[in-house]
Amino acid sequence: MSTPVPLAPAEAPPALRLVTLGVPLLLAGAAFLPDEGRPPPHPELLAVALLTGLGFWLAPRRLGYGLTGDGLVIQTLLGRTLLPYAGLRARRSAGRLGLRTFGTGLPGYLTGHFTFGPDPAVRNVRAAATRTGGGVLLESGGRTYFLTPADPEGFLAALARRGARVEP
């Protein structure tokens, strides 16, 4: 059984939130434009608009963290990652996500590989976050993860109680 960890509220400029609404609407509108030899609507564009809108809506709702008996579970739209408490190092970070090198960057859903700074010890992270800063860095299996729990200090204390090494 997993104990859910609340996520920090999403942080995104209003213009970016409008883009996530506007892209599916623009695609849906384009499906009704006349095309040479084919009368509208164009079902393939409607399907793309629907799938894009569904992805934008569903992805942030699938992001989550859970504390299990074995380790920390990170849930994303496309899968889950288990980080065992044994060997897990965790700490707060004042750093921020930089450029996305691979992954998703929707408002409230930042997953994948990102540059990271200005932390001198960490240059790249795997993110599963709702915002670009104010998070926690976890090191496990030679990889560094950036997460954004709602209560970072409480999250670190819970990890420490389960055997993770929490650093200042």
Q: What pLDDT does 91 receive? A: 97
**pTM score of the predicted model:** 0.81
113 class by beta-carbon count within 10 Å (0-12 exposed, 13-18 middle, 19+ buried): middle
The residue ranges of every structural domain in the chain are 13-60, 64-166
Residues contacting 104, CB < 8 A, separation 6+: 59, 77, 110, 111, 112
pLDDT per residue as tens digits for the range 145-161: 999 999 999 999 999 99
pLDDT per residue as tens digits for the range 54-107: 776 766 678 899 999 999 999 998 889 999 999 999 999 989 999 999 998 888
